[in-house]
Structure 1
């Protein structure tokens, strides 16, 4: 793992920190690839019960670092193996965007700890998480209109699902910057804390989730994700199935933890 992505374990909580504080943790190829890898490892690690994504310094993530060329620096001349600029750019960006897919789909709760500005691709990463805990110094900006871009890292999908199409279109098309209170009022941030207690409050919730019924949360999150697109009847079928699976798994775990010890 690179020093631009820091990994910290606290019990069952995995903290993944973007570490380019001098650039407000803006994304380049050197940080996006290890970030996706860190999320994949957290998703597959059975010791992890909750994942927290954070930004070092005074911001969460300012989006793609245009001064560093974003994801395009590694594009090579057209060739039969990787195609031209469009094909290569698509393949690289789609691979980096696995970060958002994993945070959204992994079978464990994910929290974005937003300690300052979040913009561009950063709002996709934040939107991919189940919960967003923000400091009062946080802000929210789509920013894609400023560079003539359509949006990436799942940002248009997540925020349409979270806020509804009307509010999402307002945010993306008008591109107005929101302060923490405005973002909280719109439902962008789940909870709002004073800067001094943001980390403590986020980790308190993360440990509660990590120490909770992990199989229950796994099936609960699956139900919630299904509900975004599935039909009413299919959702009922999935809930009935997952209710049985989760309660059986939780009961088995409880019995294992509480069975009498042999003397």
Structure 2
């Protein structure tokens, strides 16, 4: 049985995806990359999950990509793991430049799926967040960070230009000048500094991080899901749309949201002076 490198827990409409390589600071290796992309795809289409939280096991959020080598070459494998590794090697495409680019691009679908997911997403940043970890956090709608969290791009220290949308998300969160500073210089950003520059939504004491994240998640889970989906479409489109295109998008989604049962429930609850109960219809 394959090692569970991405743990999933669904409770009260909140799905938590936990990167599970705590001994490696949750650095992504090829098996984790595959499992993470699959988990993101499942989360996006899971109608029971109204909110998705991404976090890391242990003391780190995600230390980026694991550049230490392939795990099957560094440890004894079970017969099942050895057979799976042999099958992957047998089916592996030729080691060409084109195939290397395609392999990486396919794995990078993780952050596209996360960014475009039709539901709110929260990064619960419990510790160090570097390179790919920073991109994963940036792809989420919200970032709640422990006061002990540290952010760093790290790519240039490894002689690499960056992937998983790090340049895209940093530029849109912070602006081009600050994003270039963080990418080129790779200086560490504390949780408090991340809050000051708008990289994170909230900074919590380590012992309050989970509770603060769940409070936000529960608030989002109680909101009308179709409305949130349409609102997220608007917000993502606003990054690059012209005003005319954005007005078209807003007009369409405004009418669509007005036709939902949840909109009618919101109006009824307002008149009756009670809290609405949204069903996602």
Q: What TM-score do the two structures reach when normalised by structure 1?
A: 0.90
Greater shift in the superposed pair: 164-173 or 179-188: 179-188
For structure 1, the residue ranges without an aligned partner over 5 or more in a row are: 259-263
Tell me whether 1:58 sits opposite 2:69 in the alignment.
no
C-alpha root-mean-square deviation of aligned residues, in Å? 2.2
SS of 2:122 mapped into structure 1: strand
1:10 to partner: Cα distance = 1.2
For structure 2, the residue ranges without an aligned partner over 5 or more in a row are: 75-84, 269-275
Name the structure 2 match of 1:170: 181
Name the structure 2 match of 1:95: 106
CA deviation string 1:52-97 (max 9, x = no partner): 0000000100000111349xx98969x9x94533222222211211
SS of 2:208 mapped into structure 1: helix
State whether residues 144 and 150 of structure 1, in contact with CA within 8 Å, keep that contact through their aligned partners in structure 2.
yes
Cα distance in 2 between the residues matched to 1:50 and 1:251: 19
Name the structure 2 match of 1:149: 160
Tell me whether 1:246 sits opposite 2:257 in the alignment.
yes
1:133 to partner: Cα distance = 0.4
Name the structure 1 match of 2:68: 67
The partner residue of 1:204 within 201, 205, 215 is 215
Cα distance in 2 between the residues matched to 1:157 and 1:125: 11
Name the structure 2 match of 1:49: 50
SS of 1:68 mapped into structure 2: coil
CA deviation string 1:73-132 (max 9, x = no partner): 98969x9x9453322222221121111011100110000000000001111111100100
Cα distance in 1 between the residues matched to 2:96 and 2:128: 31
After TM superposition, what 4+ stretches of structure 1 lie above 6 angstroms from structure 2?
73-77
Cα distance in 2 between the residues matched to 1:45 and 1:16: 13
Cα distance in 2 between the residues matched to 1:248 and 1:27: 43
Name the structure 1 match of 2:131: 120
1:2 to partner: Cα distance = 4.1
Cα distance in 1 between the residues matched to 2:161 and 2:70: 17
What is the number of residues matched between the two proteins?
253
**Within 5 Å, which residues of 2 pair with 1:2-17?**
2-17=3-18
1:181 to partner: Cα distance = 1.0
1:253 to partner: Cα distance = 6.7
